[in-house]
Amino acid sequence: MLKYFYVEQKARKAFTAKEGRPVASFSPECISFTYGDLFPAMRYPDGKPYRGQVYLLAEIREAISLFGWPQEWNALGPERYTRGSGLADPPQIF
């Protein structure tokens, strides 16, 4: 687990160097999540209850409570993290 800590720290440092903002700085209704990477989460029809789902902040917390942190049980598979996306209203193309 120590290895993951260092990878997370490296990613956080790169994120803040690019002036990234933590999730808490956004309005909760402007953020969506998938449990696992977006593409496998939305494409694999294997019957897992989190497939095909898009979660709001409170909902992803509930999913993590139910299923655990994916990197803890699937360190090398497509569910090894949750994915968040920020949404703008109206949508903006940049």
Residue 92: what pLDDT? 61
**pTM (two decimals):** 0.65
Residue 66: what pLDDT? 94
3-state secondary structure of 46: coil
Low-confidence ranges of the chain (pLDDT < 50): none
Residue 1: what pLDDT? 53
Residue 63: what pLDDT? 92
Residue 62: what pLDDT? 94
Residue 78: what pLDDT? 67
Which among 40, 20, 41 is positioned nearest to 86, based on CA atoms? 20
Q: Could you tell me how many helices (H) and strands (E) the chain has, helices first? A: 4, 2
Structure tokens at 83: 């994915």
